[in-house]
Amino acid sequence: MKRKILFCATVDTHFSSFHLPYLQWFKQQGWEVHVAAAGDHPLPYVDEKYSISIKRSPFDRQNIDAYKELKAYIDENQYSIIHCHTPMGGVISRLAAREARKQGTKIIYTVHGFHFFKGAPLINWILYYPVEKILARYTDCLITINEEDFQRAVKKRFKANLIEHVHGVGVNTDFFTPVNKYHKAKLRKRYHYRDDAFLIFYAAEINKNKNQKVLIEAMALLKDEVPNAKLLLAGTGPLLNDCIDYAMELEVDHMVDFLGYRNDIQSLLHISDIAAASSLREGLPVNIMEAMACGLPVVAVDNRGHRELVINDMNGYLVEGNPGEISEKMTVLAKDKLLRTEFGRYGRNVILEKYNLNKIIKEKQDVYMKIMVDSREGVWEVQ
């Protein structure tokens, strides 16, 4: 009988965006791979996909239905491993798998950034900290993706059997790679951007946390110093129309291009000069890792996830989040091509050394092996 693993998250696009290499890896090892999440997005490497009623809000009553649906699938399939992601995916999966865990199913939860952190609103600590502390008792391995979360889980004595630090989901450094001047100019022509434009790229859902408005404010301060600057915002979200209106209000709508949902991030990075990151909260942002892998310097608002990746005056700048400081650092990079090259080279080396996909797959593989040692399946041969 094939061993079975269930991956669970709030939405299925979480897996298509971040976890396809891991679904593929389990298939290559001969496992049967199941996914449970909301949505009807097709996923490769998956034998069974369950659409459940899970919602992001912890207060949505549909999560009760999602719990019942997921528990039925878990009881039916007798999984060897359940690997859950996202806050609500982690909550519902661990509650639904309590009985299965008594029968030997191993439960892994990857924290993509605790909602409670240094500087977080008090309400976050009140809502999320006790839930994560309690549910750690039903977790065989708690995986954190940044040092701050790892230290917090250890120091606060979360009762997971194992607490591990893995360096995110990894970046394919053969795909996300720097390009030469000729290829960059050719791509810019295809996308209708001038060779002398200074392109700033940010890929993220347009929402309150990602904080695109501060970048638009920075562009208003930048327009006199760097009139050829353009901010490229890839993504959609609830604040898209607000941001479009805000750019018009500040009279920088000609300097901000709203690109919508994109599946050509690599090419957009290749035409860009720098990457920006304005989010208030991050675990370990893939968008910044991809930009660094492509040799772009980064101007990022200081938070725990950005601090893991951006080193001041080495591969970019960490800023406090006010538009004046953001525009100041962007101006420095706009006027110094050699500095951009030096920062980009350093950032690329950071990704190669710590965050390349092959390294992260090995880190995850080691975690899976650890938790399977005392399971009902025993250790398996890695192919």
DSSP string for 52-68: ----SSTT-THHHHHHH
Percent of the chain with pLDDT over 90: 90
pTM score = 0.91
Burial class from Cβ neighbours inside 10 Å (0-12, 13-18, 19+) for residue 119 reads exposed
Q: Which domains does the chain have, with CATH numbers?
A: 4-170+357-372 (3.40.50.2000), 181-355 (3.40.50.2000)
32 and 2 Cβ atoms separated by less than 8 Å: yes
State mean pLDDT over 89-105. 96
Is the pLDDT score of 153 beyond 70?
yes
Mean pLDDT of the chain: 94
**Strand ranges (E), 153-302:** 162-165, 198-203, 229-234, 256-260, 274-277, 298-301
Percent of the chain with pLDDT over 70: 97
Could you tell me which residue, 120 or 248, shows the higher pLDDT?
248
pLDDT category of residue 351 using cuts at 50, 70 and 90: very high
Is the pLDDT score of 259 beyond 80?
yes
pLDDT category of residue 379 using cuts at 50, 70 and 90: very low
The pLDDT tens digits of the residues spanning 214-238 come to 999 999 999 999 999 999 999 999 9
Locate tokens 């601090």: which residue? 307
pLDDT category of residue 173 using cuts at 50, 70 and 90: very high
State mean pLDDT over 80-109. 96
The pLDDT tens digits of the residues spanning 102-152 come to 999 999 999 999 988 888 889 989 988 999 999 999 999 999 999 999 999
* DSSP, res 351: I
State mean pLDDT over 283-292. 97
Closest to 37 measured CA to CA, from 14, 3, 65: 14
The pLDDT tens digits of the residues spanning 8-18 come to 999 999 999 88
* Confidence (pLDDT) at 35: 98
State mean pLDDT over 292-321. 97
State mean pLDDT over 163-181. 96
Instruction: List the structure tokens of 59.
Output: 């207060």
State mean pLDDT over 245-255. 98
In angstroms, the Cα distances linking 335 to 138, 188, 273, 297 are: 53, 20, 11, 13
Is the pLDDT score of 376 beyond 80?
no
pLDDT category of residue 2 using cuts at 50, 70 and 90: confident
Is the pLDDT score of 372 beyond 70?
yes
